[in-house]
Amino acid sequence: MQRPQLLALKFSVLLAAFAAAQSYADTKWELIASTSLGKTYIDRKTLGINGPLRKVFQLEEVDGPAHMGIRSVIAHAEYDCANRKMRFLDFISYGGSMGAGEQISRRQSPSPFGPWGGVLPPSSEPGVTLDSICAVKK
């Protein structure tokens, strides 16, 4: 790749990262679930409901020591309320609280129709989050 093309590519990647950070900075997070492991917040204006399915942007806040330097995660998640399953469509993990600080990792699902996780027991941390999100009305 030639130098001008490489610089343009780097600039577009930086611009996209800056835009993503700015879009989350203005988000009004609403606490939806709290367990001994942490707290889950949602951006209610992103909640999509299609029968038993829910799609939403959520923020997971870790209580206690950071795992691999991760203190919080902002994710686009999909929940299947009828079958008690969920999957992350994409997520970004951060070293700071509430989606702040250094970006630790990022994962984008190759397909929004990727595999669902296993059934979430009601007493588990993800199960509590699922129940809370499935109870939310627009």
* pLDDT at site 125: 82
Highest average pLDDT, of 23-27, 81-85, 121-125, comes from 81-85
Domains, in order of start, for the chain? 27-135 (2.40.128.710)
The pTM of the whole model exceeds 0.85: no
Q: Which amino acid is at 85?
A: K
Q: Find the mean pLDDT for residues 17-38.
A: 72
- Which residue's entry shows tokens 């829910």? 54
* pLDDT at site 35: 85
Mean pLDDT of the chain: 81
The residues, ordered by sequence, that sit 6+ positions from 110 with a Cβ below 8 Å of its Cβ are none
CA–CA gap between residue 96 and residue 104 (Å, rounded) = 10
Q: What is the pLDDT of residues 64-93, one digit of tens each?
A: 877 788 999 999 999 999 999 999 899 999
Q: Which amino acid is at 80?
A: D
